[in-house]
Amino acid sequence: MKRVDDFRLQLGKHELVPIMIGGMGVDISTADLALEAARLGGVGHISDAMIKTVTDRRYQTKFVKEKLALYKSSVATDDKTAVKFDLGKIEEATRLHVAHAMERKTGSGMIFVNCMEKLTMNAPRETLRVRMRAALDAGIDGITLAAGLHLGSFGLIEDHPRFRDAKLGIIVSSVRALQIFLKKSARTNRLPDYVVVEGPLAGGHLGFGMDWAQYDLATIVVEVLKYLKDENLSIPVIPAGGIFTGSDAVGFLESGASAVQVATRFTVARECGLPANVQQYYFTANEDDIVVNEISPTGYPMRMIKSSPAIGDGIRPNCEAYGYLLDANGKCAYVTAYNREVEAHPGARKVKVMDKTCLCTHMRNFDLWTCGQLTYRLRDTTHRLADGGYQLLSAEHVFKDYQFSTDNQIALPERQEA
Ligand SMILES: Cc1cc2nc3c(=O)[nH]c(=O)nc-3n(C[C@H](O)[C@H](O)[C@H](O)COP(=O)(O)O)c2cc1C
């Protein structure tokens, strides 16, 4: 019986354990988590989502305070067009985060950065360009293009000295999205080094509509593999979404995938950025506690735990401090929804906003508990402790369980208390 360790992911001259820990925004996939994946010979992701907030928390910078001070006057207005990011500061923050991770890297694996196009930051092209270039400057091993079609993204870095040596990949949820990306990027004369095919059971934002349940990862992977074969393109395909055991992964590897991308099982690892009390909500979630809804202002459906404090919360938008979802015209669907509720309830001290959420603030505060569909199985991956809580895992334990387990088994960690 095969196990994941019988396979290897070849990326250029690099031979890797075919396990990639997916990017989880706003420092849920921390540098510590990514470093463990690299140490163990796989691929880990950091994320550049809300990078200034992350560096403020980790490296005592003051980016958020500075931005808020600069734009304080527009807090009370609806018009956020003037609330711009200072490109030099984004560059500085990205370099800091990436360099700090890369300096500490050990092992034969790699560290990539997850770069979401939907973080439009009131100047989509300019900010994305700086984010990617700063990550390359700071020595990141690769960039995974996420949450968007990224039709112009290769073009934004094609003149960078590392454009051909860094590993560049894209996440797609359909063969069609891949076709369009390849067509639009052909001009740069460079293929992606890998394609992550993310199915409907993944965490975070989904590349499907609210009819997500009608899609199936295995079917999309077969379509992508066939398309690449027909086109004579040799690009590693990496399925993601609902791959919960080593045996699930082997199934994909045996049918032509080159690696798997996984995330949910690592949300309850000690190295993960979620606060320990929030991790207990992940352990205790039942299947019907997990919903896909449309409250993300990005316009993509998003999966989360129903009891997330973010749902329905009508806090005042915080674009002056954050503003990562302001579109090219300075608009965010949450700001519009919030203003509508304030207008409808004059004099109310606090409003409820059910249809959208202030994603920046709530992701920053770990109040929006996005998760994969199989989160309800996490409790089966560990021990229940005497105090009723669940024992956190080490990233190494989870990684090795994927790497070496067979027969759909999940190895439990060593028990930490009697
Ligand atoms: C808590 C959480 C946060 C996530 N955030 C992001 C993100 O910021 N960007 C992204 O491209 N994917 C994100 N994802 C998707 C994962 O990177 C990964 O592709 C997917 O969840 C894999 O499926 P699995 O969780 O069932 O293993 C997130 C997933 C989880 C569980």
pLDDT digits (tens, 9 = 90+) for 44-72: 999 999 999 999 999 999 999 999 999 99
The answer, yes or no, to whether residue 417 has pLDDT greater than 80, is: no
The answer, yes or no, to whether residue 374 has pLDDT greater than 80, is: yes
> From CA 307, how far away is CA 284, in angstroms rounded?
11
Q: What are the structural domains, with CATH classification, of the chain?
A: 4-404 (3.20.20.70)
Atom of ligand 1 at shortest distance to CA of 147?
11
**Which residue in 215, 256, 250 sits closest to 235, CA to CA?**
256
How many whole angstroms from 38 Cα to the centroid of ligand 1? 18
Q: What is the pLDDT of residue 77?
A: 82
> CB of 279 closer than 6 A to ligand 1?
no
How many whole angstroms from 289 Cα to the centroid of ligand 1? 18
Beta bridge partners of 46: 113
Q: What is the pLDDT of residue 305?
A: 98
pLDDT tier for residue 418 given thresholds of 50, 70 and 90: low
Residue for token pair 């770990």: 366
Q: What percent of the chain has pLDDT over 70?
A: 100
Average pLDDT score over residue span 103-125: 98
Q: Is 162 left (phi over 0), alpha (psi -120 to 50) or beta?
A: alpha
Average pLDDT score over residue span 215-237: 98
- DSSP-derived 3-state class of residue 204: strand
pLDDT tier for residue 145 given thresholds of 50, 70 and 90: very high
Q: What is the pLDDT of residue 136?
A: 98
| Residue 277, H or E segment | helix 276-284
Q: What percent of the chain has pLDDT over 90?
A: 97
* Residue owning the nearest CA to atom 3 of ligand 1: 24
> CB of 372 closer than 6 A to ligand 1?
yes
